[in-house]
Amino acid sequence: GINAVFNAAIAIKRIDAELAVVDQFHDTKLRIQRELIRLANVEVGDAIRVLSLPQNDSVVLATLQKASDQLELAQTTTVEQDRISELKRARQFLVQASGAVGTGLNYKIGEGSVMF
């Protein structure tokens, strides 16, 4: 669970960075935007993988999958408002899933590179 919550925290940080990029550049710099979204989804995929072991909460896995689905939509759209909405929904699903994994697993990711 600790690894999954940490992955979600990293994904949330990357989503927040992408929201800042889209706010500044709108529908330009799409290559950078898509890469941030892809990297966020890599973290979500890792969380899904580590929680896919037997006896893990299927509700958490379903919520993480919803986040991943939203990130895939955000990565492929060329419509700025759709991208923002999908990113915000993905972020909400990640917060929800993290809270359901366990108690006392609150990670704050500090400043640093969110691209690589």
59-114 pLDDT, tens digit each: 899 999 999 999 999 999 989 999 999 999 999 999 999 888 765 555 565 665 55
Q: Cα(21)–Cα(5) distance, rounded to whole angstroms?
A: 24
111: left (phi over 0), alpha (psi -120 to 50) or beta: beta
- Predicted TM-score (pTM) of the model is 0.86
CB neighbour list of residue 19: distance below 8 Å, 6 or more residues apart: 84, 87, 88
Q: Which pLDDT score, from 0 to 100, does residue 47 have?
A: 93
Q: Which pLDDT score, from 0 to 100, does residue 39 have?
A: 96
CB neighbour list of residue 31: distance below 8 Å, 6 or more residues apart: none
CB neighbour list of residue 113: distance below 8 Å, 6 or more residues apart: none
**Nearest residue to 61 via CA among 41, 53, 92:** 53
pLDDT digits (tens, 9 = 90+) for 5-52: 899 999 999 999 999 999 999 988 899 999 999 999 999 999 999 888
